[in-house]
Structures are given as structure tokens and as C-alpha cells.
Amino acid sequence: MNFTYPKNEKLKSKITIGLLFTEGKSVSKYPLRLVYKAGSFDESEKIKMGVSVSKKNFKKAVDRNYFKRVLRETYRLNKHLLIDNLDQPYSFMFFYQTKDRLTYDEINTKTIQLFEKFLLQIKKEE
């Protein structure tokens, strides 16, 4: 099992991010939200993941950066749930959507629940 978050897995393309917001679907598990879109990339990666924390909820960049680090870490440790069950490439945007300051363990638990909910949703769509 590979617990890394390499550069080629990071979502950086403005075009892809724009498509996520216009055509993407969403799944939520309070306080996390995952916006996703199936699609192919130039590279051989199965997943492209971006992370975002609202400036509206956390005014200080220090706080936003902390929660972005936590989201990236929980993704990194739990991405095997996604990779093992996906048959096509996906783009994801991962959001933290509350003013509440949850602990790392709470966010990790919610991330696992969110990924499981996402997998159930794509099974229904097929």
C-alpha cells in the first residue's frame, strides 16, 4: 500500500477545477464535502485531488492552512479506499465547510465515512 500524495496526484488544472464546479457531482458528510467528476487525464493516475478551506469560515491563513494540511493527511492515509474501488479516473475537490474546529481524529473518521458514501453513490450511478 502506497501512503503518499505525490505531485502528479494534486489537482492543479484550472480547466479541470472549473469543470468540477460546473459539471461535478457532490457528496457530503458534515463538515466535509467531496465534489467529483469522472474523467481521463494525460497521466496514468487514477485520482486528482484538491483541497479547500473557506476564507469565510477561517479568516487567518494559519487556520486555513492547518485544516488543509489535516485534509491532505486524512486523504493520504485513506486514499486506498478510493483507489482499490475505482475503475476509472476521477477528479476530486475536498472541502472543509464549518467554523467548528474539529480534532484530527474526528476529521479522519468523517473522511472515511465520506469516502464510503462516495463509493456507494457511484455504485448506484452505474
Residue 106: enclosing H or E segment and its boundaries?
helix 104-125
Number of domains in the chain: 1
| pLDDT tens-digit series, residues 43-66 | 567 889 999 999 999 999 999 999
Confidence (pTM): 0.91
Domain CATH for 104: 3.30.230.10
Please tell me the distance from the alpha carbon of residue 94 to that of residue 11, in angstroms, as a whole number. 11
Whether residue 74 is predicted with pLDDT greater than 80 in this model: the reply is yes
Domain membership of residue 119 as a residue range? 7-125
Averaged confidence pLDDT in the chain: 91
Task: Return the pLDDT at 40.
Answer: 64
Residue 1 lies in a domain: no
Q: Label residue 117 by pLDDT band (50, 70, 90).
A: very high
